Amino acid sequence: MTFEIDPRAVRGVVFDLGGVFLAGGVENVSAFGMAHGLSPQAWLAIRRDLFIAEGHPWGRVERGEMSLEAFAGEMVGRFAAHGVGLPRDRARHFMGAPGSAGSRLRPEIVDACLAVRAHLPTALLTNNIAEWRDGWRGLLDTARLFDLVVDSSEVGIRKPEEGIYRIVERGLALPGAALLLIDDQGLNLKGARRLGWQTLKYDDTARVLAALREVVHAAVQRSPGPPSPGDGRARPADALRK
C-alpha cells in the first residue's frame, strides 16, 4: 500500500540509515543462508527465529542487550542443527563484509538530506548495533546532516516500539503530525503512522528524491530563509536523557 504525503504539513524529516542512506543489507541477509549451504526452507526458519519471532535475538542486539558475538553464536548453533557448519566470523558479517558499507553509501540521499536541512530540521533514526557504530559514523558527517541522531543500541529501544519515535519528537521539539519518516521497512513505517507521522517507504530512489524536493519547495514557500538558531530544536544529548 502506498501512502501519499502532504509536503505542506512537514516540519521535520527523519531518515533511516540502512536501506536509505546505505543500499543493500536486507538483500545480503536474504541470500546468506543459501550461500552457506542451507536450503531456502531451513534459512527461512532460522531467519524467523533470529529476526522475527517475539523476543528475537537480533532485536536484543539492536537494543544493546546482547553482543554481536553472542548473536553469532546463536546463528552458528542454528546452522549446526541443520547439519551445516558456519564459521563464527561469517556469522558476524551476515550483512556483508567488513568495510563494505562505504561502497553502499547513496550520495544522492546525502545531497537530498543536506538540501532538506537547509530549511527544516532533520534526524537519523536507526535500528543499529554498538559494534557497527564507529563504522557507519565514519561514513556520514552526522553533525552536518542531522539535528538529532537516535541509535537504538544507545537508547535501548528499537523501531517499531513507540518510545523511540517519542525520543525523536522530543529531540526535534515537533509533534508526530509534523514529521515525515523515510524508511525501507513497512513495520517501522506502520509504527510511526500509529503516532500520526507521515511516512514514505524507500522502494524507489527517484520517487523518494521527488518527494523530498516537494518538501523543500513547500518549506521555501513558507519561509525562504534557513531555520534560525532559536527555532526550538533540542540538542541530541538533551533528547536522549529525557
What's the pLDDT tens digit per position in 5-38? Answer: 999 999 999 999 999 999 876 777 889 999 999 9
* Residue 225 shares a structural domain with residue 157: yes
* Residue 114 shares a structural domain with residue 227: yes
Of residues 50 and 226, more confidently modeled: 50
Domain end marker among 47, 64, 92: 92
Domain end marker among 40, 66, 92: 92
pLDDT range class, residue 237, cuts 50, 70, 90: very low
Number of domains in the chain: 2
Residue 116 has pLDDT above 50, yes or no: yes
Say which residues have a Cβ less than 8 Å from residue 216's Cβ, sequence separation at least 6. 115, 116, 118, 119, 120
Q: Measure Cα distances from 19 to 74, 190, 228 in Å.
A: 25, 16, 31
Confidence (pLDDT) at 235: 39
Task: Identify whether the C-beta of residue 219 lies closer than 8 Å to the C-beta of residue 9.
Answer: no
* Residue 145 shares a structural domain with residue 218: yes
C-alpha cell at 237: 544529548
> Could you read off the pLDDT of 120-172 as tens digits, one per residue?
999 999 999 999 999 999 999 999 999 999 999 999 999 999 999 999 999 99
pTM here?
0.88
Place of cell 540502512: 18
CATH of the domain at 180: 3.40.50.1000
Residue type, 14: V
In terms of residue numbers, what domain contains 44? 26-92
> Could you read off the pLDDT of 194-225 as tens digits, one per residue?
999 999 999 999 999 999 999 999 999 987 55
Q: What is the overall mean pLDDT for the chain?
A: 90
Confidence (pLDDT) at 158: 98
CATH of the domain at 77: 1.10.150
Sheet of strand 179-183, all strands in order from the earlier edge strand to the far edge? 148-151, 122-126, 12-15, 179-183, 198-201
Percent of the chain whose pLDDT exceeds 90: 82
pLDDT range class, residue 227, cuts 50, 70, 90: low
C-alpha cell at 138: 565514519
Range scoring the smallest mean pLDDT among 26-30, 69-73, 100-104, 164-168 = 100-104
* Residue 73 shares a structural domain with residue 110: no
